[in-house]
Structure 1
Amino acid sequence: MKRHLLCSLLLCGSAQALATSTVDLSVQGLIIPAACLPQLSSGGLIDYGKFAQQDLNLETATRLPVKNLHIGIACNGPVRYALRMADNRDGSAMVNSEIYYGLGFDNSGNRLGVYSMTFDPRQTQASNTAQIYGTESTTGGLAWRTSNLNPIDIGSRSYLGFTDVEGSVSGPTAIGILGGMVTVQTVINARKNLDLSVETPLDGSATLEVVYL
């Protein structure tokens, strides 16, 4: 009897072990009816033209003239969204920060420099509100920075959004049409750090993405 009881207990234990050797997978998401189309003036092209290597600082980085682009985001209805940017020249920025994007490499593989893109809420308008405030999330939209009028550099790992409520921590509000001006600041590496023996093109490229919330 004891042997039968022991065998029954072992079988029960084996059955439980087998029962816990599986796991369920769920695939979820939400398809929304709204869609947004972002656009930049000049086709999103910043062109500094030609300049001589002697125009660059030898020992320190050189700031090129600030450039501005008009930005427009048109949605087919009010929708909550945020913006982020992906560097298509990842690894070429001379500064390791999510708000700086690379300009590619010179002939010897040296990093040419960086650029950043800044949104200014004071120069941003929305179709359904008189004043826009900027807000930012570094947690994928779980928490948001207190909204204000300070300029914000768009990052590759954080969300940038806009709201019509000053001092809010609730994130972006639903916006249909957004328009404004963005500032692009470009910095070239010190001349002593570069191989400029041949023509060297600046090769910055990034993708601005609308993230639906």
Structure 2
Amino acid sequence: MKKTLLAVMLAACATTAFAEPTAVLKVKGVLTNSACTPELSNSGVVDYGTIHLSELSDSAVNQLGQKTIDLTITCDAETKVSWNLVDDRVDSRAGVTVANGSATNGSISDANQTYGVGKTADDVAIGNYSLFVKVSNVVADGKSADTIYMLGNNNVWSATADGITEGQNNRDITVAASGSLEPVGFTTATFPLVTSLAIQDTKTLAITDDTDLNGQVTISLRYL
């Protein structure tokens, strides 16, 4: 027992005697020639066509349904890359709830998860829409892939079933191998995106002339 105690004491003394009062900071990174390009189908336009006010409710939020558009990211070499977006019409967000606004058919109302579609001539916000990933149909290099996301820059990736996006560059989205939470490199990945649109009741809108919907988001890439 004494021998064991002595060994521990010696180890402790040795550690204390030779501890260095220093800390090491390392700078890391990767220089690469890889480049990736995002592209949207239909020239990036989601068209809800002509909406007749006479067919809309004058007292309740009007749910105008879903439209689909594909986001394809193409890289000239296998690259780990995510994407995020910013709402360019955030000041016109009406704050109405969007039905069937996610891949799990949930209702969406959070300010960060809905996007504006412009204002009337009298400065009334027309409505807003959600934008989500149809996670069951995401493909990377010809194979089905899981969709994962990271909030802010915390470097913690999580799985997503609802495919929700967020504006203000707050949610990065990319792909992982099935069952994994680790981003994988790819040369081509396609994310089917779905918009779900809701607009205010016609009494609130008080529109007398033709009024265009004017939603717009900017999608950016982040190399991982």
Query: Which residue of structure 2 lines up, in the alignment, with residue 139 of structure 1?
Result: 152
What are the residue-to-residue correspondences of 1:64-213 with 2, within 5 Å?
Answer: 64-95=64-95, 97-127=111-141, 130-145=143-158, 147=159, 150-156=161-167, 157-168=170-181, 170=182, 172-213=183-224
Q: CA offsets, 1:155-211, max 9 Å, x none? A: 12111121114152x4x2212111242211111112222120121110111111111
Deviation, 1:141, is 4.5
TM-score, reference length from structure 1: 0.77
Partners of 2:71 and 2:163 in 1: how far apart? 15
Partners of 2:135 and 2:187 in 1: how far apart? 16
TM-score, reference length from structure 2: 0.74
Amino acid in the other structure paired with 1:109: D
Q: Aligned in 2, Cα 1:29/1:112: closer, same or farther, shift over 3 Å?
A: farther
Q: CA offsets, 1:127-175, max 9 Å, x none? A: 16x3311111113252121x25x2312212111121114152x4x2212
Asked if residue 52 in structure 1 is aligned to residue 52 in structure 2, the reply is: yes
Partners of 1:105 and 1:70 in 2: how far apart? 27
Amino acid in the other structure paired with 1:184: T
Q: Say which SS state the counterpart of residue 135 (structure 2) adopts.
A: strand
Matched length = 181
For structure 1, list consecutive stretches of 5 or more residues without a partner in the other structure: 1-27
Amino acid in the other structure paired with 2:155: L
Deviation, 1:85, is 1.1
Deviation, 1:79, is 1.3
Partners of 2:178 and 2:46 in 1: how far apart? 33
- Across the aligned residues of Structure 1 and Structure 2, the Cα RMSD in angstroms comes to 2.0
Query: Which residue of structure 2 lines up, in the alignment, with residue 20 of structure 1?
Result: none
Greater mean alpha carbon deviation, residues 105-114 or residues 185-194: 185-194
Query: Which residue of structure 1 lines up, in the alignment, with residue 40 of structure 2?
Result: 40
For structure 2, list consecutive stretches of 5 or more residues without a partner in the other structure: 1-27, 96-109
Q: Where does structure 1 differ by over 2 angstroms across 4 or more consecutive aligned residues?
A: 28-32
Partners of 1:127 and 1:142 in 2: how far apart? 24
Tell me if the contact between 2:70 and 2:192 (Cα under 8 Å) persists in the aligned partners: yes
Amino acid in the other structure paired with 1:73: I
Q: Say which SS state the counterpart of residue 129 (structure 2) adopts.
A: strand
